[in-house]
Structure 1
């Protein structure tokens, strides 16, 4: 196996890794209760999806 002639500098390594970062997930407001949810998912607070009741969600109180 070949051995690199020179060490890879910190700057060169950082430039190569500029796109390897975690991105914030996209969040939307639930149309029924206004809670923040990921798109195309059932709301965990009220159980609605696309204006229709999908799940029966129990109160935490």
Structure 2
């Protein structure tokens, strides 16, 4: 019943996937570590865009440089 359309859209999205919302709040495990690694790899790719070949990207991702 909010006048803010963005808030109504957000709540509608939560209601559409209520099972996932409930699982995320009640289950003891999470995908936080995986999401953190994905974020780190994307950051490295953004930094290296146009500067190096895929071999160097692979080395940086695997060795954490």
Tell me which structure has the larger Cα radius of gyration: 1
Q: Which has the higher strand share?
A: 1
Which category describes the TM-score, using the shorter chain as reference length?
A: under 0.3
Q: Which has the higher helix share?
A: 2
